[in-house]
Structure 1
C-alpha cells in the first residue's frame, strides 16, 4: 500500500486532487459556516471563504502540488495565482445567484455543483499560468 501511495503522490495531478480536496473541504466548510453566521448572505459568504481558502491553496499548491521553491518569485506567483482565482470567483459569483435565484437551488447545493467546474479551471490555470516556469534552454547546438 505505501508503494501505491508513493506512486500516486509522484503524479502532479494526484497531488492536485489531494491538495485541492483539502482546500475544497476547507473552503466549502467556511462557506457553510459563513452562510449560517450571516443568515443566507451567500455572496458575502463566498467572498470571505474565498479570501481565506485561496491563501491556504496558494501555500499548499506552490509547495506540494507544483513543488515550486525559493522566494525570488513568490510575489509574482501569488499575483498569477490570485488572477486565476479571481476569474474563478467571478464565474462563481455569476453562477451562484443564477442557480439560487433563477433555478431555485439551495445555496449549498449550488456551491457544491460549481466546485466541479472551478476545480478543472483551477488545475489548468495553475499548471499553465500560476506556477509555470520557463523551460531550460538546450545546451549546444546542432
Structure 2
C-alpha cells in the first residue's frame, strides 16, 4: 500500500491590525506619562484644604512650578532657586512669544510642599512678577475628611 504525502501549507496570519493596535497603545501611554510628569513631583506633598475648587476651564498657557520643602524650585525638570528662577522663566517666555503670547497670557501654577515657608513661596512669586507674570494659581489637595463638620 502506498502512503500519500500530504502537502502542508503554512497558514499566514495578517498581523497588520495587531501592529496598528500596539502603536496606538504606545502613543496613548506616551501622552499619559507626559501629563503625569508635568502635573506632579515626587518631592512635593501638597497641603490639604477644604476651600479649594478646580479651575473653571483649562489654562491656555500653564507654567508649572514645583517648590520643595527646602525651597528648591523645579521648572520643566530643572532645579532652580528663587534667585536663579528667572533664567528658566525667560525660556518659558520665549516659548510664549513664539506663540504670539506674553507674560500676561501665561498662568503660573505653583505647587508648593505643605511644609514650605510662606516667605519662600512669596520669593518665587516676586521672581515671576519681575518678569511681568500676573496670573497665579496655588495648588492644594482637597480635604475630604472634614467636609460637613461644623
| TM-score, normalising length: structure 1 | 0.25
Q: Which is strand-richer, 1 or 2?
A: 2
When Rg is computed on C-alpha atoms for both structures, the one with the higher figure is 2
Tell me: higher relative CO, structure 1 or 2? Use CA pairs within 8 A at least 6 residues apart: 2
